[in-house]
Structure 1
Amino acid sequence: MLDALKVRLKNSDSSFGRATFAILKSIRSFEIPVIKPFHGLIYHLHLLITGFAGSLCRILYWTPLFKSRLANTPGKLYLYSGMPLLLGPLKITMGDHCRLSGHTTISGRTSSTIKPQLNIGNNVGISWQNEIFVGDRIEIGNNVRLAVKVRLVGYPGHPVEPAARARGEAESDDQVGNIIIEDDVWLAAGVTVMGGVTIGAGTIVATGSVVTRDLPPGVLAGGIPARVIKSLDLPAENKNG
């Protein structure tokens, strides 16, 4: 009703209608003057209150709930911005000193004959809006960094054949692949890693890349599909995995 009135006033040919619409628009756009010392104090008070409340929720609620879904009990887990969305059957192990955004989705393949397993090493950082789709197994090594909006796609969720998709059937076994991310790998923002891929220790994958085949250790890779751009000057133990 209000939307219809708004449209009539906006398209009105009468001066009264146009004037009424202008008045309502100015009311909608009304702003109070900003008093920087006062509103700056309110802003910092807002940060203090919300930060304290968020810390309480993280310590007393989100972290214990998330740890209850793990197969082990990691130490020094820093879980922020809520709790990840966990879908399907999953066995998850996690090392110590990890940082994990609550804006992360972790999904296990429901049509698998075995329980999909996600193993995360020590000192791993998983940033916000990551999506981890575990077909059979995904291994994330120590000191790995997954930047924002990284996707690990161990299974596609749908079959290739159109009629099978229309019937709502699951993907076939040959569409599923393990993903192995070795120690010290950095996947930059928006990287997608497909099933059946191993990324060698110390390798960096550039923003927006799609990794469809194995990458060796100690290189910078990028592109769609990702290819080796250059070798990185890394200590020998990193290059050897």
Structure 2
Amino acid sequence: MISTTANWIRRREDPMADRLYRLIKRVQVLDMPVLPGLHMTLYRTHRLLTGLGSDLIRRVYWTPMFRARCGGTGRRLHIAGGGMPFVSGPVRIQLGDDCRLSSAMTISGHGRSKATPEFICGENVGIGWQTTVAVGSCIVFEDNVRIGGRAFFAGYPGHPVNAADRAAGLPDTDDQIGDIVLRRDVWIGTGCTVNVGVEIGAGTIVAAGSVVTKSLPAGVLAGGVPARVIRALNPEDRSLG
């Protein structure tokens, strides 16, 4: 009955069906005017209630579960966003005080490593949205490191270089697996990739979208594909934010 009536209205074969069709279309595009006092109050109330609710869930549910998965976590761990980081493989995670992680990040451990892969963060480390940390043997972020969103730390590739071996489904080889070390105060920009075997010196900044294939010295601005030193940073340099 309902389907028959709907088809009758859509066909608009008589004046009544046509009037109903036009009325329905007007209702569908009805635009509720904004009542500043009412809707701003509703908006602020909604933000307050949802914020309190998500903060409570983060503190009593997501964060304790993630702490249980880690080998050890410091004080005041903050996981931004709803949920917790996705962890796969045999990786031991150690976090210092005041770390801030995005819930939309991934931490994976290489399944064939002789020893359990380790991901170690110092104090006051911040890791952005959709960053992936693929731990081959050990990845270390020292104190005050900042990681932009969508960064990728490739401690292992997952596939061998030899094409025949890849086609046969063989795993990556031992020489493709290694450490990545970011010394204190390093800032990695959005969308960067840092390859296995790289060490980035203290205070260095890597520009967004760069691919770091070789180690970088301390106190420089680097960028590009592959990343190269652009210039030295002054101790009081504020032009880069």
Q: Same fold (TM over 0.5)?
A: yes
Q: Does 1:78 align with 2:78?
A: yes
After the TM superposition, which residues 37-186 of structure 1 pair with which residues of structure 2 at under 5 Å, given as runs? 37-81=37-81, 82-186=83-187
SS in 2 for 1:202: coil
CA contact (8 A) 2:90 2:110 kept: yes
1:37–1:217 distance in 2 versus 1, CA, 3 Å: same
Q: How many residues align?
A: 221
- What percent identity do the matched residue pairs reach? 46
Q: Distance between the aligned counterparts of 1:107 and 1:23, measured in 2?
A: 56
Q: Which runs of 4+ in 1 moved over 4 A?
A: 19-30
Contact 1:202 1:234 in 2 (8 A): no
**Unmatched tracts of structure 1, length 5 or more:** 1-13, 236-241
**Gapped regions of structure 2 (runs ≥ 5):** 1-10, 237-241
Counterparts in 2 of 1:187 and 1:21: CA distance versus 1, 3 Å: farther
Contact 2:12 2:21 in 1 (8 A): no
CA distance 1:117–1:24, shift in 2 (3 Å): farther
CA distance in 2, matches of 1:22, 1:203: 64
Structure 2 Cα separation of the partners of residues 124 and 154 of structure 1: 19
Offset, 1:119: 0.6
CA offset at residue 114 of structure 1? 1.8
- Residue in structure 2 matched with residue 193 of structure 1 by the alignment: 194
CA distance in 2, matches of 1:187, 1:171: 26
Cα distance in 2 for partners of 1:28, 1:212 equals 55
AA of the residue aligned to 1:33 = P
CA RMSD of aligned residues (A): 2.3
Assess, with a 3 A threshold, how the Cα gap between structure 1 residues 160 and 30 changes in structure 2: closer, same or farther: farther
Cα distance in 2, alignment partners of residues 202 and 223 from structure 1: 18
Distance change >3 Å, CA 25–CA 137, structure 1 → 2: farther
| Greater C-alpha Rg | 2
Task: Report the Cα distance in structure 1 between the residues aligned to 2:86 and 2:116, rounded to whole angstroms.
Answer: 18
In the TM superposition, 1:220-231 aligns within 5 A as 220-231=221-232
CA 1:90 to 1:28, structure 2 compared with 1: closer, same or farther past 3 Å?
farther
User: What TM-score, normalized to structure 1?
Assistant: 0.84
Q: Which piece of structure 1 moves more, 150-159 or 200-209?
A: 150-159
1:68 counterpart SS class: helix
